[in-house]
Amino acid sequence: MTKVLVFSPHPDDDVIGCGGSIAKHVAKGNKVGVVYMTSGDIGSLAHSPAEIASIREREARQAAGCLGVSEVHFFKNHDGYLDCTWKNLVRVTSLLREFRPHIVYIPHEDDRHRDHRKTHELVVEACGWSGSPRAPVCGQNLWRVGTILCYEVGTPVRDCSYVEDITDYIDAKSRALAFHSSQLSNLDYNEAVRSLNRFRGITTGGGTYCECFQVVRATNLFSARDSFRRGD
Ligand SMILES: [Zn+2]
């Protein structure tokens, strides 16, 4: 079974960046997990950090469940202060060796939000560790991640090097995003996301609605990912 692991700096980035692809993976029978690096504890002026973190974790569980995600993890780093620490590298590498994903999704490296860039840096580094015997503290079952794709949230990717047609899943993506009501009350993310995905569809010719990604690493051209691309 193809396994997919999505790393999300805050609850909602997963849905905004690759919610359509998540729903598509699930529809194709792939197993999908999501890791929230922070719980978004500075995402509200109306609630204390503990209150809004609890609210956003609940929203994330509901949204992920709506998309068919089979497991979620909350790493509970401080929102706004994510760093590529030894502790985070060990946690991410250990999870990679345990979950053994074929495909990993992360934010792209030019995202304007610090936590997003740090998630990119941290997970790319951990993917290197995961396949190397240099980190025995992370478990003995080395695992090499075949494909790493970078999604866009607030900052569009400059060059789309992979396009996924999510036309059949755009409404599922909107339904999942609606669970993040604590954030939608600040900005109309749903309209922004649908507009960006429509823009991507038109400008790439890849479908009515598309998600665009930057490729860090890609393998399995004639097996897992290729089957996914052809819609088998
Ligand atoms: Zn974010």
- State the sign of the Cα–Cα–Cα–Cα dihedral 56, 60, 66, 67: positive
All structural domains of the chain with their residue ranges:
3-230
pLDDT band per the 50, 70, 90 thresholds, residue 9: very high
**Cα 71 to averaged position of ligand 1 atoms, centre (Å):** 20
**Cα 136 to averaged position of ligand 1 atoms, centre (Å):** 31
**What pLDDT, in 10s, does the model give residues 16-59?**
999 999 999 999 999 999 999 999 888 777 889 999 999 999 99
**Cα 10 to averaged position of ligand 1 atoms, centre (Å):** 5
Q: What pLDDT, on the 0 to 100 scale, is given for residue 223?
A: 58
Q: Is residue 38 within 8 Å of residue 82, measured between CB atoms?
A: yes
Separation between Cα atoms, residue 208 and residue 198, nearest integer Å: 6
Separation between Cα atoms, residue 21 and residue 10, nearest integer Å: 18
Q: What pLDDT, on the 0 to 100 scale, is given for residue 72?
A: 98
Report the chain's mean pLDDT, rounded to a whole number.
Answer: 92
Tokens 């922004």 belong to residue: 192
**Cα 221 to averaged position of ligand 1 atoms, centre (Å):** 30
Q: What pLDDT, on the 0 to 100 scale, is given for residue 75?
A: 97
**Cα 9 to averaged position of ligand 1 atoms, centre (Å):** 5
For residue 108, how many C-alpha atoms fall within 13 Å in the half-sphere facing its CB?
22
- How would you list the strands of the sheet with 147-151, edge to edge? 71-77, 31-38, 3-8, 103-107, 147-151, 210-217, 162-165
Q: What pLDDT, on the 0 to 100 scale, is given for residue 225?
A: 47
Separation between Cα atoms, residue 87 and residue 160, nearest integer Å: 32
**Cα 200 to averaged position of ligand 1 atoms, centre (Å):** 20
**Cα 146 to averaged position of ligand 1 atoms, centre (Å):** 25
Please list all protein residues whose beta carbon sits less than 5 angstroms from ligand 1, which is an ion.
9-10, 13
Per-residue CA distances from 58 to 10, 71, 151 (Å): 13, 13, 23
Per-residue pLDDT for 13 more than 60? yes
Question: What radius of gyration do the chain's Cα atoms show?
Answer: 17
Q: According to the CATH classification, is domain 3-230 in 3.40.50.10320? A: yes
Helix, strand, or coil here: 18? helix
Q: What pLDDT, on the 0 to 100 scale, is given for residue 136?
A: 84
Per-residue pLDDT for 115 more than 90? yes
Q: What pLDDT, on the 0 to 100 scale, is given for residue 220?
A: 62
**Cα 184 to averaged position of ligand 1 atoms, centre (Å):** 13
Q: What pLDDT, on the 0 to 100 scale, is given for residue 38?
A: 96
